[in-house]
Amino acid sequence: MSKSTVDRDTVNPHTPHRNAVGFPIHVVRSVQVNKRMALHAMTTLQVGLILAVASVLAQPPSVQAIGIGNAYLEVGDAGDSLDSPQFVTGGPYDGIVGGIDDAVDVFAFHWIGGDFVAEFFSGSDPTIALYDFSQVLLGSASGLAPVLTINNVTAGNYLFEISSLAGPDLGYAVHIGSPTHPDNPLTISAPTVVPGPATVVLMALGLAGLVLSTRRRVASPIMSKSGSDSD
């Protein structure tokens, strides 16, 4: 091959550029672009699957699937402290269904009495706890799908707290029952009315006033008769 022929091949604009292993440069670049697109698509798919799984885990299973026959449904956002619980209305129920909007939900209800068992269902690992109406902790349980068991809980009003580090938008379902009442699964209902200290004081004052008024009415005729006899 003559030198002139080699020079013409070298400067020929139609001669494809090749990489070190002999592949045309435009083919190599095309493969690299397609590889980047494939990796991007795979990453997008993985993120989508993660979000989909997280969405499913964040929602509780159906109440029928976990054995809740009649659940109390949270109204708006339940109380966020023991001082401001959401009072269960109606009933009786065998569970609570709701969602945490501010990391804590607190409910007040009347318990039928007997061994207390609360089973929590959700995609998170919250803490559930039972308090009496004086805010004394009776028991708590934590972890993924915690189960709280307390023996011999006297019938009365109680506070049930659900707290989660997962934060807002956590859907949950809680099955509440008692092996003490196998034939009566509906164990919680609206709290019974408990008069506060101020109400008790007013009732005592009213009762004392009634007793004093009655004594005065009884004593008045006797004194009048005694005065007539002396005349």
Higher-scoring residue by pLDDT: 153, 65: 153
85 neighbors 133 (Cβ within 8 angstroms): no
pTM above 0.75, yes or no: no
All structural domains of the chain with their residue ranges: 17-57, 71-189
The answer to whether residue 116 scores a pLDDT higher than 90 is: yes
Shortest CA distance to 130 belongs to which of 100, 108, 97, 146?
A: 108
Largest CA distance in the chain: 165
DSSP characters over 71-134: EEEP-SS-BSSTTSPEEP-S--BSEEEEEESSSEEEEEEEE-SEEEEEEEESSS--EEEEEETT
Q: Tell me what the mean pLDDT of segment 20-27 comes to.
A: 56
pLDDT of residue 212: 63
Q: What is the pLDDT of residues 187-201, one digit of tens each?
A: 999 998 755 555 555
Q: What is the pLDDT of residues 52-71, one digit of tens each?
A: 544 444 444 555 556 788 99
Question: Using the 8-state DSSP alphabet, how is residue 60 labeled?
Answer: P
152 neighbors 114 (Cβ within 8 angstroms): yes
Q: Which of 87-91, 129-133, 157-161, 220-224 has the lowest mean pLDDT?
A: 220-224
Q: Residue 112's CB: how many other CB atoms inside 10 A?
A: 20
Give the domain 71-189 fold.
Jelly Rolls (2.60.120)
How many residues does this entry show for the chain?
A: 231
Percent of the chain with pLDDT over 90: 35
Q: Tell me what the mean pLDDT of segment 13-41 comes to.
A: 60
pLDDT of residue 67: 73
The answer to whether residue 16 scores a pLDDT higher than 80 is: no
Strand order in the sheet with 71-73: 71-73, 95-100, 170-177, 114-121, 147-153
> Burial level of 22, CB count in 10 A (0-12/13-18/19+)?
exposed
d(CA 161, CA 119) in angstroms, rounded, equals 13
